[in-house]
Chains A and B, each alone.
Chain A
Amino acid sequence: MIRDALLIAGKDLRLELRSRVALNQVLPFALLVLVLFAFALDPDKSVLTQATPGLYWIAVLFSALLALQRSFAIEATDGNRDALRLSGLDPAGIFLGKVMAVSAQLLVLEALLGVGVAVLYTSRIEGWILLAVTSVVATASIAAAGTLYGVLAAGLRVRETLLPLLLLPVLAPVLIGSTRAFEAALNGSPSEGWPWVGLMSIFASLYVVAGIFGFGPLLEES
């Protein structure tokens, strides 16, 4: 299962390295969102600095939607879905591989977006450990739930509009948790942030387990 996962993750990441869709389209989109927030909220008042955690994670969520769409779009063409099914790879491995690949891309995006926030919103960055752990756990949550709901929407004509409707309400706890944890870290009171990391860890494990068991049947049909 782990070997299959690494195989799939490697394949997806190699595809990304060659096509650079996430780098050339998703990342600029995320930065654009940051700039749009500055247009919408007066940058001279301290709103931007105060709202940095929320704005940051909203930008990450929207970018994650694009990354997930991309992750399933590469399987949709040329009967790749069938090829994947016939490959004999463990469905749980395919699921984990997809989660890993999406997570890796999102983590890179988050790091660059973090630099963007620090520069554009002149936010002071503190509490590095909590920030890093929150990012990893939240990313795993987004990727796991996103991959499970992504395959639910995959292959349908309405997938672009369906995925946000299905996924965003589900990810509400992750948005709440990651934002609160970031706030706690930036305010210099990291002890308030750790319970949220715990909550998101539970969320992530739940969806990893659900994906491991649910991915097989979903991949078989259609």
Chain B
Amino acid sequence: MTTQLDAAPEGLDSTGSRGTRVLGVLAIVGLAALALFGLVLSPPDASQGEVVRILYVHVPSATFAYIGCFLTTIGSAMFLWRRSAWWELVAYASAEIATVFTAIVLVTGMIWGRPTWGVFWVWDARLTSTAMLLLLLLGYLAVRRLPADHDVRTKRSAIIGLLLVPNVIIVRQSVQWWRTLHQKPTLLANGVGAKIEGLMLFSLFIGFIAIGLVFAWLLIHRFRLAWLEDQLDDAGLDAAIAERRSEGEPS
């Protein structure tokens, strides 16, 4: 066993593999292309000016934050239905990545809102429900990381994960209703939904690819990390005891 492993190349003691290394290089190339097109080659928007460049990273991040949430709900459902530990780890890994992405989306959205609307925050349906989404994700992570029995936290977090997307939909619907009853959502009229074309559309397209590659790369690494954490959880106690014993022994 040892000889083969000793001869193995670098990357043995990591969550990386040849596949993730290729993916990582592609992601970095994608990000470089995104910076080139988003910051240099694409023209400023007619109405928004330079601020439109924020959207090339903001919109793809939002999309992949939502994809992460769906993966969490699907993974939780598969875990509850099929007892699949693999899906449980997918749910956990994507929930954590979705949390990072959602936080990024909120902050970049606020930075975009300041020059566009003159304020960092408006009580718009999209903003408000994204903020609630972040809180719901934090709740899921809090339960998944509880210092409790492995079965307890996976099962309980899976139920929260299962309810994640339904909750987001209900929250979003109610917030939208709440805002539109009082005022028309005019603020976003020339915002994210505005028509874009040419080099700007291409930059956004590059953004989707680059952020998507980063998402996939992170998901694989985070999944493997979660898998290792579980292994350690199982073996943890025995190993710790053995280690303590060997420490005490005179060598």
A169: interface (CB < 8 Å): yes
B17: interface (CB < 8 Å): no
Cβ contacts under 8 Å, B151 to chain A: 221-222
- Are A214 and B159 within 8 A (Cβ)? yes
Q: A152-B159, A180-B178, A199-B174 are known contacts. Are A170 and B167 too (CB-CB below 8 A)?
A: yes
- Are B166 and A206 within 8 A (Cβ)? yes
B171: interface (CB < 8 Å): yes
CA distance A195 to B171 in the complex (A): 15
Q: Decide if the interface of chain A is mainly helix, strand, loop or mixed.
A: helix
- Are A222 and B166 within 8 A (Cβ)? no
Residue of A whose beta carbon sits closest to that of B147: A157
Which of A11-19, A101-109, A158-166 contacts its partner? A158-166
Cβ contacts under 8 Å, B171 to chain A: 169-170, 172-173
| A219 to B: closest C-beta gap in Å | 11
Q: A152-B143, A162-B142, A169-B132 are known contacts. Are A180 and B181 too (CB-CB below 8 A)?
A: yes
Interface size class, chain A: 20 to 34
CA distance A201 to B152 in the complex (A): 31
Residue of B whose beta carbon sits closest to that of A206: B166
A192: interface (CB < 8 Å): yes
- Are A169 and B159 within 8 A (Cβ)? no
The count of residues in chain B whose C-beta lies closer than 8 Å to any C-beta of chain A is 29
CA distance A196 to B136 in the complex (A): 22
CA distance A177 to B167 in the complex (A): 15
- Are B156 and A199 within 8 A (Cβ)? no
- Are A172 and B155 within 8 A (Cβ)? no
B211: interface (CB < 8 Å): no
Residue of B whose beta carbon sits closest to that of A195: B177
Cβ contacts under 8 Å, A199 to chain B: 173-174, 177
Which B126-140 residues have C-beta < 8 A from chain A?
Answer: 132, 135-136, 138-139
Cβ contacts under 8 Å, A172 to chain B: 132, 171, 174-175
| B83 to A: closest C-beta gap in Å | 11
- Are B139 and A169 within 8 A (Cβ)? yes
Q: A172-B132, A221-B152 are known contacts. Are A166 and B160 too (CB-CB below 8 A)?
A: yes
A51: interface (CB < 8 Å): no
A129: interface (CB < 8 Å): no
CA distance A169 to B174 in the complex (A): 12
Q: Decide if the interface of chain B is mainly helix, strand, loop or mixed.
A: helix
A40: interface (CB < 8 Å): no
| B79 to A: closest C-beta gap in Å | 11
CA distance A31 to B135 in the complex (A): 28
Which B109-161 residues have C-beta < 8 A from chain A?
Answer: 132, 135-136, 138-139, 142-143, 146-149, 151-152, 155-156, 159-160
CA distance A162 to B157 in the complex (A): 12
Residue of B whose beta carbon sits closest to that of A202: B170
CA distance A203 to B80 in the complex (A): 22
Cβ contacts under 8 Å, B142 to chain A: 162, 165-166
- Are A162 and B178 within 8 A (Cβ)? no
| B187 to A: closest C-beta gap in Å | 19
Shortest Cβ-Cβ A-B pairs, 7 listed:
A173-B174, A169-B135, A166-B139, A152-B156, A176-B178, A222-B152, A176-B174
- Residues of A at under 8 Å CB distance from B? 148, 152, 156-158, 162, 165-166, 169-170, 172-173, 176-177, 180, 192, 195, 199, 202-203, 206, 210, 214, 217-218, 221-222
Known: A176-B174, A180-B181. 9 other contacts (CB 8 A): A170-B136, A173-B171, A176-B175, A192-B181, A195-B177, A199-B174, A217-B155, A218-B156, A221-B152
- 15 examples of A-B residue contacts, CB within 8 angstroms: A152-B143, A166-B139, A166-B142, A169-B132, A169-B136, A170-B163, A170-B171, A172-B132, A173-B173, A176-B175, A199-B173, A217-B80, A218-B159, A221-B155, A222-B151
